[in-house]
Amino acid sequence: MAVFAYRAMNRTGRVIRGEMEAVNLVDLELRLRRMDLDFINGEAARTGVAWRRGRIPRRELMHFCFHLEQLTRAGVPILESLCDLRDSTVHARFREIVAGLVESIEGGRSLSQAMQEQPTAFDSVFCALIRAGEATGNLPEVLDALNESLKRDDELASYTQRLVIYPSIVVSVILGAITVSMVYVVPELSKLFVSTGQALPFHTRALIAVSHVVSQHGWWLALLLVGSVIGLRIAAINNTNLQMRIDRAKLSAPLFGEVYRKIILARFASLFSMMYGSGIAIIDSVRIAQDVAGNKLVQRALIQVEQHIAEGQNVTSAFGRVGLFPPLVTRMLRIGENTGALDKALQNVSYFYERDVRESIARVQTMMEPILTLLLGSLLLWVMLSVLGPIYDIITRMKV
């Protein structure tokens, strides 16, 4: 099916713009009519429009799980619940996805099968849990667990953003000020220094050399840096070994690496616990978790765990043999296996790491403030000494 950009009118007379997959314009009009929208016009989406069709925001999925859980728990049929969600959803792209779910279910598919047709909104874990909820009759409980999991992921993401935003703002402002001085101020002062004929100290000559490179070749250097980053990402997509090295570097990076590892372990423990508690077999839970690991090194470790479990080893020894998971995880897995409460044990692991992530991010932020102050202060001191020293010498000679 092609992607069409459309204009339509809702019941209140408001004009709505959006994009939707359809066979042709007639099919597009029928799909919009099912959404209680009157078709105005439409055309095949341009490349730029299709490019914007990314993943659905986590908050929309949280609202979806909460409302669907409430409606199904109240005894409202799935199809009617989805129609209500479709009509009340504000996010245009997600409204189209919910409308697609309605069409698929009307065509005879189950909710989980309909969700599998919308991979940009529902990942493999989401679909597997919904399938388990349908099979066991515990769909409201599964939706509630998914909502709580999405909330935890949202909290972890916000904590991670706090770790990155402050240093990014400080470094950007200081480097912007230094770049302006390198491009406009230092070249003019260097002409003054050269005209006096005085011998310049090494740090002043180094500053002038850096200023010359930045002012003459700054744009090329910026393009080279951006091109290198883009090229590295493209190469990593096509080269598994390179992606593996990058992901290993992320896990071992100073300050951030340990926090990144704990975030991955917290999310894995939460998802594993949720899947196992919903009735999904252990080996299937490990297989599904591989797709959402977010790190090639962790994904390879989970593949090895799956192989060990398939060979007949218990969960504890399978995770222990991999060597990537810390003793806390394997210890709690052993306790969970011995007590028959593996999902509870993994919930404890998830809770511990989520709390540890918050504390670790707070510690890293506390450490980064003096480190950034010292680093940027040293940089500014170098610029000031390199500029003010020769100026002071010139003023001294004029007085003599």
Over residues 358-381, the pLDDT tens digits come to 888 778 778 877 887 888 788 878
Domain ranges for the chain:
2-44, 58-152, 153-399
DSSP 8-state code for residue 183: I
Determine the residue type at 297.
L
As a whole number of angstroms, the distance between CA 375 and CA 147 comes to 42
The larger pLDDT score, comparing residue 285 to residue 393, is at 285
Q: Are 115 and 101 in contact (CB under 8 A)?
A: yes
Among the listed residues 142, 170, 193, 87, the one whose alpha carbon sits nearest the alpha carbon of residue 365: 170
- Beta strand 15-22 with 38-44: parallel, antiparallel or unpaired? unpaired
**Average confidence score pLDDT of the chain:** 81
271 — pLDDT class (breaks 50, 70, 90): confident
- DSSP H or E run through 389: helix 342-399
Instruction: Say yes or no to pLDDT of 400 above 60.
Output: no
The larger pLDDT score, comparing residue 159 to residue 273, is at 273
- Condensed to tens digits (0 to 9), the pLDDT of residues 377-394 reads 888 788 777 877 777 777
Q: Which two tokens stand for residue 265?
A: 């372990």
Instruction: Say yes or no to pLDDT of 306 above 60.
Output: yes
Superfamily designation of domain 58-152:
Type II secretion system (T2SS), domain F (1.20.81.30)
